[in-house]
Amino acid sequence: MSRICEITGKRAQNGNRVSHSNIKTKRRFNPNLQVKKFYIPEEDAWITLKVSAAGMRTINKKGIMACLDNALQKGYIQY
């Protein structure tokens, strides 16, 4: 399973772990993903999405259907 948010498209980023002696080694910054079920009243159905915390706030602000339409348009999810 890929670590990509299905609403915002957030994915893992690369960076450096910096020690006290300033030695830099590679590390990954993973998004805060949660597997969550959402109810769609227009279709009277439940869907399961892998969503970041920022994606959940976006769904609360705009609504699930607007977010799904936007994610389909940008190519984050396919149906």
Bridge-partner residues for 26, per DSSP? 16
- CATH assignment at residue 27: 2.30.170.40
Residue 8 lies in a domain: no
Residue 38 lies in a domain: yes
Residue 17 lies in a domain: yes
Residue 66 DSSP SS3: helix
63 phi and psi angles, rounded to 5 deg: 105, 155
- Residue numbers of the chain with a pLDDT score lower than 70: 1
Residue 5 lies in a domain: no
Residue 4 lies in a domain: no
Count of the separate structural domains present in the chain: 1
Identify the domain containing residue 32 by its residue range. Answer: 13-74
Residue 64 lies in a domain: yes
Residue 3 lies in a domain: no
pTM: 0.85
pLDDT (tens digit per residue) in 22-40: 999 999 999 999 999 999 9
- Cβ atoms of 74 and 66 closer than 8 Å: no
How confident is the model at residue 2, as a pLDDT?
85
